[in-house]
Amino acid sequence: MPNPIIAVILMAAAAYIPRVVPLITVTKEIDNIYIKSFLKYVPFAVLGSLTFPDIFYSTGEFITALCGTAIALFLAYKEKSLVVVALAAILTVYITSFLI
């Protein structure tokens, strides 16, 4: 079995390098409007892709995850804070897990 400390250091490098390479290599402003627009839309596309459909598998039970997702969507639509949305989703999943 590999040494866990070495494995973790390798993981840390795999997390750090992608974060800093563009920051230190692209120091000029990009003036192409399409590239600018693309970069503006990236965060929304990334988070959408990270969230769906994986959120439905996040609790080990599809129904409870569905209820938690619905509550999260509703509260996010009402523009509640990150903490409120996250805690309400956890609570919803927790409660519904006893009802099914």
Partner 1 sequence: MEINMILSNNKDFKYGLKRGMPIAFGYIPVAITFGLMAVSGGLSPWLAVFISLSNLTSAGQFAGTNLIIQGAGYLEITMTTLIINIRYMLMSLSLSQKIDPEISLKQRLIFGFGITDETFSVASVEKGRLSYSYMIGLIIGPIIGWTLGTAIGATISSALPPALGNAMGIALYAMFIAIIIPPAKKSKPIFIIIIISILITILLKYISIFGFISSGFRVIIATVIAAAIGAAIWPINPENDC
User: With binding defined as CB under 8 A, does residue 99 bind partner 1?
Assistant: no
Count of residues touching partner 1 (by CB under 8 A)? 81
Nearest approach, Cβ of 63 to partner 1 (angstroms)?
A: 12
Burial of 82 (0-12, 13-18, 19+ CB in 10 A): exposed
Nearest approach, Cβ of 73 to partner 1 (angstroms)?
A: 6
Candidates 62, 63, 98, 100; binder of partner 1 (CB under 8 A) is 98
64, 78 in Cβ contact below 8 A? no
Tokens at residue 30, please? Answer: 């990009």
User: At which residue do the structure tokens 């596309």 appear?
Assistant: 45
Candidates 62, 80, 99, 100; binder of partner 1 (CB under 8 A) is 80
* Separation of alpha carbons 57 and 54, rounded Å: 5
Candidates 62, 63, 94, 100; binder of partner 1 (CB under 8 A) is 94
What are the φ/ψ torsions at residue 75 (nearest 5 degrees)?
-70, -35
Site for partner 1 in 17-76 (CB under 8 A): 17-24, 26-30, 33-55, 58-61, 64-65, 68-69, 72-73, 75-76
